[in-house]
Structure 1
């Protein structure tokens, strides 16, 4: 089997899937060095920077570069092909010894680069998937996606609410409900509230120094809340990479800003974390008995907290559904809202049309 000096893999990777990764790995195994060129058009809805980052994460051993290519696609027009080549050459000016593709245009592309054309799995036998198939049905193609793309496409649902209003119960029940659907949904996960783990540790440290200390003896510092929010966001991202097309979160970084108000009595001390979630479920305090589990002391604050969540969710334009009534009613309303979100799905704009 021939081994080449500098190889090239070129594509849109809109989005990247296992077929793309097989192509890159095959090329990397046959070249001393490999360049992957990611080409994006302005009409497409996944930014070039994201696609480059995804490919670099999955293939750290190769060089990945990106370029914008808004030239119309017309395989019959030599002038159009020349214009595309100018874009490719500007992005990859070095000599290329071999071009690896799975497409019919591979021979012409190799000729124009003055390189050998190597065709890899053109009939999609090893990986029966395409970018078009993923864009049309991301859920149906979920198993063909690597973790960074799954994390980007997963619909993230956050359950928020005041103390002892059933946020943990609801997040866990939703995850269990969707796991019960089987198939790709069997991997549905939920992310616990990191703030609770943080609080348990603070109480344990205090009791080690002062046996018999109670939750009311624990104090917080304002600067601790951004740390809690950041770790919550990290746990959410980790779970989104390995789960199903929907992820449930018991609170999020946004909710931490309200908890800061509750404990510190003032505004959050840092810029908010970037928004990655898609739906917020607000658990009402009405009709839910307050349970003191050793880390709660704010029964009298529940109406205020519910109101603050409601106000801030509306002010920041977050898609919100309020959950009221008994648990079964809340769960049914939540499932209906999540199903609607899933049905909408992640939307991909159409790529530039191909003229023939």
Structure 2
């Protein structure tokens, strides 16, 4: 439908979007098709655990053609009390002061909301026939509702598991095996992602560039500067974020920006506040630290030697403990390490997702 044929000048979609799901997006798409201009008002109560800014960002990303605004609404929920309605409308009118021609909703309160805006009511799939999902259902069972969630929400909810350790301790082997194990479960788990170590690709390129000038150069000739490590850390985090947006409720990472900070110490001899700041931006839910004991050292041309492994293992453990990160040391052979890791990840997933309850509705 072209803009000239759209029946409404200014439409409104209002909701908590706690969190947004496919039903919400269908509602907005339907409204966009019928309005010359559409405002989406995201209302959040202070007691809710998903920040208003996140919800606004997710809706803006999904619907660039709409104007998405946010408001905090801590008034009680009672659709039968005119005074409560007046309080809510004051919030709504402050956020959307322009005249509204149509209110698009899937809720029973849509009739009264439209009346108070002096607008037409447009009901969209009120029986949830097209998208059998609700915010309540998502909060209760995110895994069961995973197919209805957009990339931003998936990235926010995905449980991130990082495998880290000293050189040649099996981090890549274990992280890839974990991703394969969960993909084999099928369903939503079939899209379980694995994020490779960007620092390794960076190191390969660095050595190749040096050999283009000095063909006989080897890894011992490569030198790093402090400025390179924030670049590596940000690239690693960007790869992780992309994978989280596209994957299942769990994501496996072969290292992360927290580990990059320890590697900075290894090569430069001191911590990097900038890398530490990068690492603090993204929460991870479980770290699996691979022990160097019992794993033979294999020199692949990009490693420094077995003598550094005990120090690296110790530094990883010290920093994991100091910063209060949840972690588990995995030991033994590959099969034992995988069994231990799967048990730890299953325990993490069994804890579920905790959302604060929205304000209760008065009956």
User: Which range, TM-score by smaller chain?
Assistant: over 0.9
Structure 1's 340 and 275: CA in aligned 2 closer, same or farther, altered over 3 A?
A: same
Structure 1's 295 and 2: CA in aligned 2 closer, same or farther, altered over 3 A?
A: closer
2:318 to 265, 288, 311: 311
What does 1:44-193 align with in structure 2 at a 5 Å threshold? 44-193=48-197
Q: What CA distance in whole angstroms lies between the structure 1 residues aligned with 2:301 and 2:247?
A: 32
Q: What CA distance in whole angstroms lies between the structure 1 residues aligned with 2:69 and 2:46?
A: 17
Deviation at 1:265, TM superposition (A): 1.1
| Superposition CA RMSD, Å | 0.9
Partner of 1:339: 346
Runs of 4+ residues deviating >2 angstroms: none
For normalisation by structure 2, the TM-score amounts to 0.97
**What are the superposed Cα offsets for residues 272-324 of structure 1, whole Å, 9 maximum, x if unpaired?**
22132111000010000000001011310100000000000000010001101
Q: What CA distance in whole angstroms lies between the structure 2 residues aligned with 1:61 and 1:76?
A: 34
1:247 to 207, 232, 251: 251
Deviation at 1:102, TM superposition (A): 0.4
1:272 to 257, 272, 277: 277
2:300 to 290, 293, 306: 293
Q: Please state if 1:234 is matched with 2:258.
A: no
**What are the superposed Cα offsets for residues 228-266 of structure 1, whole Å, 9 maximum, x if unpaired?**
000000000000010100000000000001001111111
Q: What CA distance in whole angstroms lies between the structure 1 residues aligned with 2:342 and 2:104?
A: 45
Q: What CA distance in whole angstroms lies between the structure 1 residues aligned with 2:305 and 2:45?
A: 52
Per mean C-alpha deviation after superposition, the further-off stretch among 251-260 and 292-301 is: 292-301
For normalisation by structure 1, the TM-score amounts to 0.99
Q: What CA distance in whole angstroms lies between the structure 2 residues aligned with 1:305 and 1:261?
A: 10
1:281 to 275, 288, 308: 288
The runs of 5 or more residues in structure 2 that have no matched partner are: none
The runs of 5 or more residues in structure 1 that have no matched partner are: none
Number of matched residues?
A: 356
Partner of 1:355: 362
Q: Is the 8 A contact 1:223 1:269 kept in 2?
A: no
2:209 to 199, 205, 211: 205
Q: What CA distance in whole angstroms lies between the structure 1 residues aligned with 2:356 and 2:344?
A: 24
Deviation at 1:212, TM superposition (A): 2.1
Deviation at 1:2, TM superposition (A): 6.1
